Amino acid sequence: MANPTPVPADTATGTDKPSVLFVCVHNAGRSQMAAAFLTTLGDGRIEVRSAGSQPADSINPAAVEAMSEVGIDMSAETPKVLTTEAVKASDVVITMGCGDECPYFPGKRYEDWKLEDPAGKGVDSVRPIRDDIKGRVEALIASLLPATA
């Protein structure tokens, strides 16, 4: 459920930066790629978090390889557990398949991105997922940051 209105920048963090939390079950593929794109494309203007309701032991190697192909190194990332505190500290919460396991707080902007799960897939299958995520992240940035003249 997308909210087209911009998020007030200081709602959750008390800073002038909006904050985004990406959530998927394992925090090993989709949410990590989205966080990496937002960190890179947001150029430090957005606070970025990612987490999973049932984090995997490691990042999906095909996701790491696919991101490396576009110049983003995710090899040092590790899956993190979803906490209520991370949701509370974020202005925007984007889920990618964790369903009812994501806590809900009034006043947050929630979006659910329907994305194919890259788990168990090779890099050839992960590339289209990566490219879909990049486009969604670019649209997210445009919705969060005012246009510069």
Catalytic residues: 24, 98, 102
Q: CA separation (Å) from 110 to 11, 37, 97, 121?
A: 14, 19, 13, 28
3-state secondary structure of 71: coil
Question: 3-state SS of the chain: helix, strand, coil percent to 5?
Answer: 35, 15, 50
Assess contact for 81 and 136: CB atoms under 8 A.
no
Size (the chain), residues = 149
The string of DSSP letters for 72-102 reads: ---TT----B--HHHHHT-SEEEESS-GGGS
